[in-house]
Structure 1
Amino acid sequence: MLVFLFRFMSVFPLPVLHALGAGLGWLVYLASPSYRRRLRGNLALAGYENRLSAAIAESGKAIAELPFVWCAPQERVTRHVTMENWELVQRQLDSGKGIVFLTPHLGCFELTAQQVSLRVELTVMYRPPRKSALKPLVEDARARQHMHLAPATLAGVRMLVKALKGGQPVGVLPDQVPQEGEGVWAPFFGRDAYTMTLPAKLAQLGKADILLVYAERLPRGRGYAIRFVPFEGELAGTQTEQAATINRAMEQLIALCPSQYFWSYNRYKRPQGVDAPQAEVVQ
Structure 2
Amino acid sequence: MKGKIAVALLKGVAKLSWPAVQHLGNFIGNCMWWFNTSACKVVQINQEHCFPERSPDQRAILARQTLQGIGKTMVESACAWLWPVDKTLALIDEVEGMEVLEHALASGKGVVGITSHLGNWEVLNHFYCSHSKPIIFYRPPKIKELDELIAQQRVQLGNRVAPSTKEGILSVIKEVRKGGSVGIPADPEPSESSGVFVPFLGTRALTSKFVPNMLKGHKAVGVFLHAIRLPNNHFKVLIEAAPEAMYSDNVDEAVAAMSATIASYVRRWPEQYMWSMKRFKKRPEGEARWY
Corresponding residue of 1:137: 149
- The separation in 2 between residues aligned to 1:182 and 1:167, in whole angstroms, is 24
- The separation in 2 between residues aligned to 1:128 and 1:228, in whole angstroms, is 26
* SS of residue matched to 1:101: strand
Identical residues among aligned pairs (%): 25
**Unaligned segments of structure 2, at least 5 residues:** none
- The separation in 1 between residues aligned to 2:38 and 2:89, in whole angstroms, is 36
**Unaligned segments of structure 1, at least 5 residues:** 271-275
Q: Deviations over 1:87-145 (max 9, x none)?
A: 11111112212221111100001221222111211112122112223111211121221
Confirm or deny that 1:25 pairs with 2:36: no
CA apart distance, 1:152: 1.8
Confirm or deny that 1:60 pairs with 2:67: no
Contact 1:211-1:228 within 8 A present in 2 as well: yes
Shift in CA distance, 132/205, structure 1 to aligned 2, threshold 3 Å: farther
Matched positions, count:
275
Confirm or deny that 1:188 pairs with 2:195: no
Alignment of 1:1-283 (within 5 A): 1=4, 2-47=6-51, 49=59, 51-82=62-93, 83-204=95-216, 207-221=219-233, 223-235=234-246, 236=248, 238-270=250-282, 276-280=283-287
The amino acid that maps onto 2:189 is V
* Runs of 4 or more above 3 Å deviation: none
- The separation in 1 between residues aligned to 2:201 and 2:163, in whole angstroms, is 29
- The separation in 1 between residues aligned to 2:255 and 2:101, in whole angstroms, is 23
- Is the deviation greater in 260-269 or in 238-247? 238-247
The amino acid that maps onto 2:71 is G
- Is the deviation greater in 13-22 or in 123-132? 123-132
- The separation in 2 between residues aligned to 1:171 and 1:127, in whole angstroms, is 12
The amino acid that maps onto 1:66 is S
- The separation in 2 between residues aligned to 1:43 and 1:190, in whole angstroms, is 9
CA apart distance, 1:24: 0.6
Normalising to structure 1: TM-score of the pair? 0.88
Normalising to structure 2: TM-score of the pair? 0.86
* SS of residue matched to 1:277: coil
Contact 1:7-1:71 within 8 A present in 2 as well: yes
